[in-house]
Amino acid sequence: MSLAKKYPKEVKQILAKYPPEHKRSAVMPLLYLAQREGGYITKEAMQDIADTLEISVTDVGAVVGFYTLYHDKKEGKYRMQVCTDLPCALRGADQFMETLCANLGIKVGETTPDGLITLEAVTCLAACDKAPMFQIQSAEGIEYHEDMTVDKTMELIETLKKANVEVK
């Protein structure tokens, strides 16, 4: 089902923000809308957005591929994105990531066996002085966690696990 049929009010509001000759600028909010429900953007949704904005599906896919906030495949319920750029690495981000992977039993880019956490390395979350730090993306939004230790992170993951058991 197309976004316009599934979310007619939202699509109309998004498109109304842009002059018709610049409607391609609506690509990011439409991608966010498409991703909201399932946590990722399907090929069908990318095609739908391309058709709506009269741009190529390659252009839409390029935006999805460039920004770490958009995903083109289903993974963990929570995406934990650890900043590993140079300033964060100098504050221990690489060791943090290595130890976190060992504790979770996965590698960077993988999802925990329970399907809860996908661990990703990203560049620059704008908190270099508070590294190690990460953001967690979920259907509820984005949460930032700064000055983290592996122990504090594992406690947070346990809290997420408990909350998801209670929901089921």
Query: pLDDT grade, residue 121 (50/70/90)?
Result: very high
Domain edges within the chain = 3-66, 78-167
Query: pLDDT grade, residue 1 (50/70/90)?
Result: confident
Residue 30 has a CB neighbour count (10 Å cut-off) of 27
The token pair at 15 is: 């498109």
In angstroms, the CA 13 to CA 99 distance is 45
CATH for 78-167 is 3.40.30.10
Yes or no: say if 124 and 83 are a contact pair by the CB < 8 Å rule.
yes
- CA-derived radius of gyration, the chain: 18
pLDDT tens digits for range 76-112: 999 999 999 999 999 999 999 999 999 999 999 999 9
Mean pLDDT across 110-118: 94
pLDDT tens digits for range 17-68: 999 999 999 999 999 999 887 788 999 999 999 999 999 999 999 999 998 7
Report whether pLDDT(167) > 70: no
3-66: which CATH topology? Answer: Arc Repressor Mutant, subunit A (1.10.10)
* Torsions phi, psi for 160 (to 5 deg): -65, -40
Report whether pLDDT(127) > 50: yes
pLDDT at 2: 86
pLDDT at 168: 47
pLDDT tens digits for range 135-149: 998 877 889 999 999
